[in-house]
Amino acid sequence: MKKICFIVSSPMTANVFLKPIIFKLSEKYNIHLACNFEDEILKINGINKIHKLPIGRRISVVKDIESLIKTYLFLKKNRFDAIHSITPKAGLISMIAGLLSKTPIRIHTFTGQVWANKSGISRQILKQIDKLISISSTHILVDGESQREFLINNKIIDQNTTVLANGSISGVSLKRFEQSETIRKSIRNKLGLKDNDWVFMFLGRITYDKGITDLLNAFTAIKENYNQKLIIVGPDEEGIISSLTKREKNIIYMPFTDKPEEILQACDTFCLPSYREGFGLSVLEASALSKPIICSDIYGLKDTVIENKTGVKHIVKNIDSIHERLIFALANKKLMKEMGLNGRKYVQENFSEKIVVNAWVSFYDNLL
């Protein structure tokens, strides 16, 4: 049985994205996982063995050289038929180590570009890292067609790259992300929401790059009373929420959830005003729950929203544009609900977990 090793920086990446893929591939292949974990529990069925590799997320020359050496020795010892990295640092370390150790098949999946909205020397350095990953790989996957075009235009990859199915890493579980009026009422009751409250929601890492301050400013600028609420869910990594939500009683903050499929039920419109996204899986998850979308018009979200059919887009980094879309949603609630229903169909036809995971299996079958 051929051996495949997935390599990621954080076990969270494996927990969130790789579970259905590993489970399905394990029916035909011997699956290993290597990541930088301490006490975090990995609950993934189908893994033959988990290995610890000291791959940190942040750049550190000394530690990264040590990590490269250890990864090289690890790959030399285990002789995998294929290695597959996800996330930039894991890709940089493992693809170079794989090249040096003569691992025959070296696959990297691009899921977004840290440098997309940066400038100056930091942008150039980060671009060269992605370029090095590409050069060291034998096969490149990209989790969205618009991202693939962006990478080609920036000369990071060439045309000989692949988007599996219609995009996303692992697709959306239509069974897990299915509308439930019972769950919706339960969550809204817990949060003290009324039946006629129209709830906007952001769910994800709370950073400036996600456009969260733009969304907050656009929401608080609404002067009319539409019974509007805004729920923000996710870890406040840059201390944004503590200072900005005190001025507005209609904003609810929740620091964490391990059940996005439940908290998303409470909203009426999902918002992602991000400055950069590789694909925007959270948009598809919300769409699967029949939630209409308001998101920025960046390249990484191009494939996830059909304008005026499953949602509406605003100009990135433009508070007035976000404000206009929020007002549009509040003034056209029936239309927004129709967009939400269209979103469910769009995900069913293009991005279901079954479609994407089967594409992974076909990809590996062709290689191995």
* One domain for residues 10 and 121: yes
Do the domain assignments include residue 227?
Answer: yes
Bridge partners, 271 (sequence order): 294
* One domain for residues 117 and 208: no
Helices (H), 114-240: 120-136, 145-153, 181-190, 212-220
Tokens 């129709």 belong to 338
How many whole angstroms separate alpha carbon 155 and alpha carbon 61? Answer: 25
Residue 14 has pLDDT above 80, yes or no: yes
Written as one string, the DSSP assignment of 294-361 is EEE--GGGTTT--BTTTEEEE-TT-HHHHHHHHHHHHH-HHHHHHHHHHHHHHHHHH-BHHHHHHHHH
Q: What is the mean pLDDT of residues 291-320?
A: 96
* One domain for residues 202 and 222: yes
* One domain for residues 201 and 112: no
Confidence of residue 243 (pLDDT cuts 50, 70, 90): low
Note the pTM of the prediction, 2 decimals: 0.91
Q: What is the domain extent for residue 309?
A: 181-350
Q: Which residue has the higher pLDDT, 355 or 239?
A: 355
Confidence of residue 333 (pLDDT cuts 50, 70, 90): very high
Most confident of 45-54, 238-247, 338-347: 338-347
The number of distinct structural domains making up the chain is 2
**C-alpha distances in angstroms, 161 versus 81, 128, 158, 266?**
20, 18, 7, 39
Whichever domain contains 106, its CATH number is 3.40.50.2000
How many whole angstroms separate alpha carbon 348 and alpha carbon 54? Answer: 38
Which pair of tokens denotes residue 122?
A: 């930091």
3-state secondary structure of 34: strand
Q: Are 353 and 249 in contact (CB under 8 A)?
A: no
**C-alpha distances in angstroms, 341 versus 166, 186, 336?**
20, 21, 9
Tokens 């400036």 belong to 208
